[in-house]
Amino acid sequence: MTEATVRDSATSAEKRVPSADLLEVIDLTVRLPVEGEVRSVLRGVSLTIGAGEALGLVGESGSGKSMMARSVDCLLPPGAEVDGTIRFDHGDVGSLAGKELRRYRNQVAMIFQDPRAHVNPVRTIGDFMTEALRSNLGVPAAEARRRAADMLLQVGILDSQRRLGQYPFELSGGLLQRAMIAAALLTEPRLLLADEPTTALDVTTQAEVMAILDELRRRRHVAVLFITHDLDLAAAVCDRTAVMYAGQIVEVRSSSLLHDDPLHPYTAAIAAARPDIDRTARRLLAIPGHPLSAFEADPDQCAFAPRCPHALDECRAAAPELIELDGGLSRCARVRELRGRLKEGQDA
């Protein structure tokens, strides 16, 4: 495992963080034109994903998590202003165009929340799945179809030949999403971007689809960026989880430690806000206010300070940087003193 140098956007100080080369996002800042004004959606985001590693990206509305996926896949809307670097396998992604971009997209596949919105309803599943293989990789049609049928089997769709000839409307949401995963894996990508792939599915279907995704990615050594609003879901299938708030990363942590030893009050807050299925509680620990978007947050203080039960004057005086602690990262200026007390409750 090599290390990479990361420059913090606030202080410009350099930091060494453990990285394993496949995807490096360095100080990414994205602004989008919305209704005439330019609004910030991502502020100085840095993260890395190693080959075969699964990183969860958790956040509420406005956190910027979907924008992250779009930035990595070069799918930002026209007019977007981008600062910072995205490197895939040591090559700069921002400068890709045309044939190289298509080749990049064979290596980085994306699956979306609503499969029906991203699939042509008048083409069969087979056409959709084999398209990338035939046009970008020059695989002959019969061979492509054979591979598609095989991949459908792997995602648990047993009558694959019949399904290849069907149209999207003939498949349920869960089946269609499995077919999307199969399609994404056909080009043998090295990185899979999954943007809330199970949010629209029933809970039992979600469990099934996540189990398939988990098994396939381990078997094929595919790295995954798994975006979701559900902290427990991310922790279940990802080695590490990053938490985003107001367009910034506020915590990166090994998933097994995230719940019991969070390194940021926001992580503790969203974990506590979720009702406990194993216990009947009277009230939930709910923090006041609503989640901020990047452009709503004051750049000169901690974005979470207005809602944070542990906020002190130092938190409102300057924007905190990412601090490395125990193999994780935290954007809380007070993390060293608060650590260990964050999980229990909201009283400082």
Partner 1 sequence: MPETAAEAILEVSGLRKEFGELVAVDDVSFSLAQAGSLAIVGESGSGKTTVAKMIVGLEQPTAGTIVACGRERSRPARSVKERRLRAGQVQIVFQDPYTSLDPHQTVEAILDEALRLQHGWPADRRRARVLELTEIVGLDARQVRALPRALSGGQRQRVAIARALAGEPRVLILDESVAALDVSIQAQVLNLLADIRDETGVSYVLISHDLAVVRQLTDEVLVMHRGRVVERGFTARVIDDPREEYTQRLLASVPRPGWKPRRCDPL
The residues binding partner 1 (CB under 8 A) are 60-61, 153-154, 156, 173, 202-208, 210-212, 214-215, 229-233, 235-237, 259-260, 269-288, 290-291
Q: Find the shortest distance in angstroms from Cβ 60 to partner 1.
A: 4
- Report the C-alpha gap between 61 and 38 in whole angstroms: 19
Q: Which is nearer to partner 1, 97 or 286 (CB)?
A: 286
Helical (H) or strand (E) element with 37: strand 37-49
Give me the least distance between CB of 34 and partner 1, in Å please.
14
**CB nearer partner 1, residue 28 or residue 216:** 216
Q: Which residues partner with 84 through β-bridges?
A: none
Cα separation, 205 vs 211, in Å, equals: 10
**Closest distance of CB 174 from partner 1, Å:** 10
CA dist 172 and 169 (Å) reads 7
For residue 209, the surrounding DSSP H or E stretch is helix 203-220
54: three-class secondary structure by DSSP: strand
The smaller minimum CB distance to partner 1, of residues 52 and 173, is found at 173
Phi, psi of 88 (to 5 degrees): -115, 120
Rounded least distance, CB 182 to partner 1, Å: 13
How far apart are CB 71 and partner 1 at their closest, in Å?
Answer: 22
Q: How far is the CB of 265 from partner 1 (least distance, A)?
A: 12
Question: Measured between alpha carbons, how far is residue 294 from residues 9, 66, 245, 289, 335 in Å?
Answer: 15, 13, 8, 15, 22
Q: Which CB atom, from 290 or from 341, has the smaller least distance to partner 1?
A: 290
DSSP 129-165: HHHHHHHHS---HHHHHHHHHHHHHHTT-S-HHHHHT
Residue 6 or 308 having the CB closest to partner 1: 308
Q: Considering beta carbons, is residue 13 or 281 the nearer one to partner 1?
A: 281
Query: CA nearest 197: which of 160, 230, 222?
Result: 230
Q: Cα(195)–Cα(112) distance, rounded to whole angstroms?
A: 5
Which is nearer to partner 1, 1 or 203 (by Cβ)? 203
Q: Quote the least distance from Cβ 100 to partner 1, whole Å.
A: 36
Residue 248 three-state SS: strand
